[in-house]
Structure 1
């Protein structure tokens, strides 16, 4: 079957990576750290857990905490089609397992152990 992308990519020089590949490599690295975090807490990896934890980590790095609506809104901005109820249930489960904590302001944040796992420098 003819793939028009293959002919475009064939003309590209091998030493020049497309801009999107750097971002993709960063995302993979981040996903590996989140996968390690989930393993540390004895949880399976799922797309929704990866995205929810990433949203919380980004918010925390930016000095803020967010609630269910904030996490859901952030995922919608990234065109990740998850329902509000799904996001809420994942947050509840992660909280029950000790990965995240719910503050008195109804906002979620990563617990210190989880943050430490995510902020480790990945091996290269």
Structure 2
């Protein structure tokens, strides 16, 4: 049986050129969603992505969207309610690290919120 796609003379088969969009261009045109925008934020601040950081920042975003502020205990309770098994100490240490790196700020009422620069990165106003 003869297969016209397999060359018999040792040459490479002819392949049709298929248009492949520039993935970098597509990324700039489509807004970052979900964890991707948090990963972008962490990268901007020179931090590695970890599950704890993703969950803590996501919880801060959720709280801010609901006009709430969370302290360490509130953050830990919020994550436990979502069945995310993180210890109180892990949550506290992540918040302290995010604070020291300028991603998060500690408010006078002992609650945490995103730094204005971090918000600008998430909104796409600042590029990495």
RMSD across aligned positions (CA): 1.5
CA distance in structure 2 between the partners assigned to 1:91 and 1:66 by the alignment:
11
- The DSSP-based 3-state class of the residue aligned with 2:33 is helix
Deviations 1:57-80 (A, max 9, x none): 110111121100111111101100
Q: After the TM superposition, which parts of structure 1 deviate over 6 Å for at least 4 consecutive aligned residues?
A: none
Instruction: Name the TM-score, length of structure 2 as normaliser.
Output: 0.70
> Is the counterpart of residue 33 in structure 1 residue 37 in structure 2?
yes
CA distance in structure 2 between the partners assigned to 1:32 and 1:98 by the alignment:
19
Q: What is the match of residue 79 of structure 1?
A: 83
- The Cα of 1:117 is off from its aligned counterpart by 2.1
- The Cα of 1:55 is off from its aligned counterpart by 0.3
1:32-111 alignment, distance < 5 Å: 32-111=36-115
> Is the counterpart of residue 112 in structure 1 residue 119 in structure 2?
no
- The Cα of 1:116 is off from its aligned counterpart by 2.0
Structure 2 residue runs of 5 or longer lacking an equivalent are 1-31
Deviates more, 1:61-70 or 1:42-51: 61-70
Instruction: Name the TM-score, length of structure 1 as normaliser.
Output: 0.72
CA distance in structure 1 between the partners assigned to 2:86 and 2:67 by the alignment:
25
Q: Rg larger in 1 or in 2?
A: 2
Bigger share in helix: 1
